[in-house]
Amino acid sequence: MDDTDAVDALRTDPDLGPLIERHGRLSVEPADDFFARFVVSILRQQVSMASAEATRDRLFEAVEVTPDGILIADDDTLRGAGLSRQKTRYVNNVAEAFRDRGYTAAHFEGTDDDAVIDELTSITGVGTWTAKMQLLFSLGRPDVFPVGDLGIRKGMRTLYGDIDRERMVETAERWAPYRSYASLYLWRVEEDIADSVDEVREG
């Protein structure tokens, strides 16, 4: 995917155009480490960015964040890094899936987005939001619109008023097939959201 083509296509949009002028060209690209990025997404579920960041730092210091590294670590070590009992179970579930199913970025090449979501959400602890974060930030898919994300909804409501999720999805259809790129700009409508998404992209 050529970022220039995507951004140039969106630049003509009356709502995204000013954001593109302000923030420049943003990129959608696969993560260097699919598994580590996946684990970070689990850590970010339903907690503040600051809390997730602190847990990430402790976890990466305590264990090797690979499927085998997570699976050989005892639960007390993971809990000591700040994971709840539930998230300890979830990251183990993800590690088992990567080990047993052979997940890599290449594994999902040629698999459409909906099928990837179905596959990933079959792992206990992985919901639609987490699966879409993998599509966008781990696999670098160009046309993901994670309407379940609070930052996306805040950006949409700043631009379009108090609209519901269904209307947001309908509105975003005009940005296909580059809704991932549109999402990157929506996250930047508000500065606090922009800081959060930068953390996700670097995680």
pLDDT in tens, 148-164: 998 999 999 999 999 99
* Residues 6-38: tens digit of each pLDDT: 999 999 999 999 999 999 999 999 999 999 999
Question: What's the distance, CA 140 to chain centroid?
Answer: 10
Average pLDDT, the chain: 91
Please give the average per-residue pLDDT across 120-126, as a whole number: 96
Closest to 91 measured CA to CA, from 176, 8, 82, 32: 82
pTM for the full predicted model: 0.88
Q: What is the CATH number of domain 3-28+144-194?
A: 1.10.1670.40
- Per DSSP, 188 falls in state T
Q: Residue 194 and residue 186: Cα distance in Å, rounded?
A: 9
Half-sphere exposure (CA, 13 Å, Cβ side) for 16?
A: 25
Q: Kindly report the length of the chain.
A: 203
What residues does each domain of the chain span?
Answer: 3-28+144-194, 34-138
Q: What kind of fold does domain 34-138 have according to CATH?
A: Endonuclease III; domain 1 (1.10.340)
